Copies of this chain bind each other. A is one copy, B any other.
Amino acid sequence: MRILITAGGTAEKIDQVRSITNHSSGSLGVQLAKAALAKGNLTVDYIVAKGAMLPPKDPRITLHPIENTADLQKIMRQLLEKQTYLAVIHAMAVSDFTPAVSLSQESFIQGMNTWLQQKTDSQFTEDELAKLLTVLEAQQEDATKISSKTEHLFMVLKQTPKVISQIKELQPDTLLVGFKLLVDVAEEELLAVAQKALVKNQADYVLANDLTSINAGQHHGYLLDAKGVVAKANTKKAIAHLILDTILERKQSL
């Protein structure tokens, strides 16, 4: 049987020397890979973002290195079309936004003046926003590296495609395990948001965790299914084993 694990954090380029990165050491992914090998008869495809920790070298693990969300989308599609997975465990921290426009203060001022001339509404409506974005995009210099001399930099970022929502479309029968990381919220809110994400992404399970409860050695996580909390675990290793045990048990009951 084969499973797909994603791990690490993606990086979206601003220019040739700068990126917006999502933090993720990749260590939970490593624990997932180790747990998958420990459980016996599993082969692992492992999509890993640049800079993340790597799982131990093992002939049963195939690494697929990527950098950004577009890479992830491409390799995910390729793998899901080629292989059948018992489960996809999507632990990667994926960028929600990617830079669309980056302007120096000087270019932004020019762009704002161009837009003011075109403006037809006294209010800043969604239509005016669309106009402004078109002007700012046209204003974007052909810069391979943004000048460091301008006083302010103005950036517009656009949403990246939601890769997780494509997984079940490509492979309806795989067990999808998503992750939801929030920062400093009440347990109730964390679980509610994770439950919503489960429904939205057609996930079978979501591992809900809060950044404030993750620190040296400790990593509190709740594994949810459509009915609610399946179990809680308190270290990355325990979370990894909980996920693997849960999907293998589910497999036997199918």
Kindly report which residue of chain B lies nearest to residue A128, judged by CB atoms.
B112
Q: Given known contacts A23-B18, A154-B156, A157-B153, is B183 in contact with A145 (CB within 8 Å)?
A: yes
Which positions 231-249 of chain A face chain B at CB distance < 8 Å?
none
Q: Given known contacts A20-B19, A51-B51, is B97 in contact with A109 (CB within 8 Å)?
A: no
Q: How far is the CB of A1 from chain B (nearest CB, A)?
A: 32
Contact assessment for A97 and B184 in the assembled complex, using a CB-CB cutoff below 8 Å: no
With A18-B21, A96-B148, A116-B122 known, 7 other A-B pairs at CB within 8 A are: A15-B183, A17-B22, A18-B22, A109-B125, A113-B123, A145-B211, A154-B157
- Whether A163 sits at the interface, judged by CB under 8 Å, is no
Q: Which residues of B sit under 8 angstroms from A157, Cβ to Cβ?
A: 152-155
Contact assessment for A109 and B93 in the assembled complex, using a CB-CB cutoff below 8 Å: no
Contact assessment for B112 and A116 in the assembled complex, using a CB-CB cutoff below 8 Å: no
- Report the copy number of this chain in the oligomer: 2
Most buried by B among A15, A19, A150, A182: A19
Q: Which 9 A-B pairs have the closest CB atoms?
A: A96-B148, A112-B124, A153-B157, A144-B183, A155-B155, A145-B183, A16-B183, A113-B124, A97-B153
Q: How far is the CB of A49 from chain B (nearest CB, A)?
A: 12
Kindly report which residue of chain B lies nearest to residue A122, judged by CB atoms.
B116
| Total chain A interface residues with beta-carbon distance under 8 A | 50
- Whether A133 sits at the interface, judged by CB under 8 Å, is yes
Kindly report which residue of chain B lies nearest to residue A93, judged by CB atoms.
B17
Using an 8 Å CB-CB cutoff, how does the interface string of A148-175 with B read, 1 for contact, 0 for none? 1011111111110000000000000000
Q: Which residues of B sit under 8 angstroms from A95, Cβ to Cβ?
A: 18
Q: Which residues of B sit under 8 angstroms from A116, Cβ to Cβ?
A: 122-124
Q: Which residues of B sit under 8 angstroms from A145, Cβ to Cβ?
A: 182-183, 211
Q: How far is the CB of A14 from chain B (nearest CB, A)?
A: 7
- Whether A126 sits at the interface, judged by CB under 8 Å, is yes
Q: Which residues of B sit under 8 angstroms from A126, Cβ to Cβ?
A: 109
Q: How far is the CB of A219 from chain B (nearest CB, A)?
A: 15
Q: How far is the CB of A179 from chain B (nearest CB, A)?
A: 12
- Whether A11 sits at the interface, judged by CB under 8 Å, is yes
Q: How far is the CB of A52 from chain B (nearest CB, A)?
A: 10
Which positions 3-40 of chain A face chain B at CB distance < 8 Å?
11, 14-23
Given the complex of chains A and B, what is the CA–CA distance between A26 and B183 in angstroms? 30
